Amino acid sequence: MDYVGALLPSPVDVIEKVPSAKAPLRVLAWKVFWDKWMTFVRVSSVTRKSVIMNATRNHKERVSKLLLLYANQTEEVETRSFGSVGVQILGLLHIRTGDTLMSTKRSEDDNNFRDIVPPPVMSASVLPQSHSDLGPVQEALNSLSRTDPSVRIELQEGQILVHGLGALHLEIVESRLRDEWNVNIEFGKRMVSYREGSGPGNIDPKPGSWKTEMFGKPFTIDVDLDVRAFKEGEKETPCGMGTSSSVRVEDPFPCQTLSPTRMILWLASLEASLTLYRALRIQLSPYQTSISK
């Protein structure tokens, strides 16, 4: 306990800002319901029909109704003063749990709000049982991601991937989709995204060869690969696939940065083009034929 008192900061040192009833609107959305899009907020001050700014999403919203909750009964009100907790706001279409709502007239001391949701660590594929279930499944996933911002939805290679904070989190997501949205789905195996870096410094370029045979003759492509980590501020080129490293190749490749997967696809297309070119030369001889690189 002595170390706790000596090392941890004292609560007395925290500078608290006393709220004012005349201050601009500032609301924290601490719960979003998917059924009627009711949003529970902690209020500084808010009025029905007012236009508010979602500072987290940088999007304007309009308050259609203000409700006070008493157990299972609700009371519609016109305005609420600061300090109110548990106020329901209807009509917010783009809000997510954890967003901060403010007046559209922001003061100079307002800070930019960032999304503090932790990144996902595990994913699973969601498979609708039939084509007619695809629409309800996508709608359910979008609604769930609004109520739980730690759930990320991604469409990848024709399948729906759900990213969560762990195996237990994905089990809860699957249970909520079945129980609350009544969708017909199958969850795939849990997958963990592992990342590996090249370490400090650059890796020496490694020459590589790709050999095949066309029309009974050997065909070889020599490529020098230079794999390195992205530098600070460096972005992937349009030919990349968002990987943490890049593959550098020399001309006649179409761009300077290729992922390994796209490099293989490009080499396969090159082989097909050369095969077609040789076939055209045989069929159209003695006419001249040419292809562009």
Q: What is the pLDDT of residues 162-186, one digit of tens each?
A: 999 989 999 999 999 888 888 888 8
Please give the structure tokens belonging to residue 41: 């907020």
Q: With the CA atoms of 234, 235, 241 and 244 taken in that order, what torsion angle do they form, in degrees rounded to the nearest 10?
A: 30
- Confidence grade of residue 249 (pLDDT, cut at 50, 70, 90): very low
- Confidence grade of residue 46 (pLDDT, cut at 50, 70, 90): low
Main-chain dihedrals φ then ψ at residue 239, nearest 5 degrees: -85, -10
- Confidence grade of residue 71 (pLDDT, cut at 50, 70, 90): low
Interval 16-42 mean pLDDT: 64
Interval 239-254 mean pLDDT: 38
**Rounded to an integer, what distance in angstroms lies between the CA atom of residue 166 and that of residue 193?**
11
Q: Which helix (H) or strand (E) holds 140?
A: helix 134-147
> What is the CATH T-level fold of the domain 23-103, as seen in this structure?
Elongation Factor Tu (Ef-tu); domain 3 (2.40.30)
**Rounded to an integer, what distance in angstroms lies between the CA atom of residue 270 and that of residue 106?**
57
**Closest residue by Cα to residue 263 from 293, 244, 240:** 240
The pLDDT of residue 57 is above 70: yes
Q: Which residue has the higher pLDDT, 227 or 192?
A: 192
- Asked if domains 23-103 and 122-192 share a fold, the reply is no
**Rounded to an integer, what distance in angstroms lies between the CA atom of residue 78 and that of residue 205?**
69
Main-chain dihedrals φ then ψ at residue 202, nearest 5 degrees: -100, 150
Q: 3-state DSSP call for residue 101?
A: strand
- Which CATH number describes the domain made up of 122-192? 3.30.70.870
What is the domain partition of the chain in residue ranges?
23-103, 122-192, 206-284
Cβ-contact 124, 191 below 8 angstroms = yes
**Rounded to an integer, what distance in angstroms lies between the CA atom of residue 122 and that of residue 255?**
33
Amino acid, single-letter form, for residue 106: R
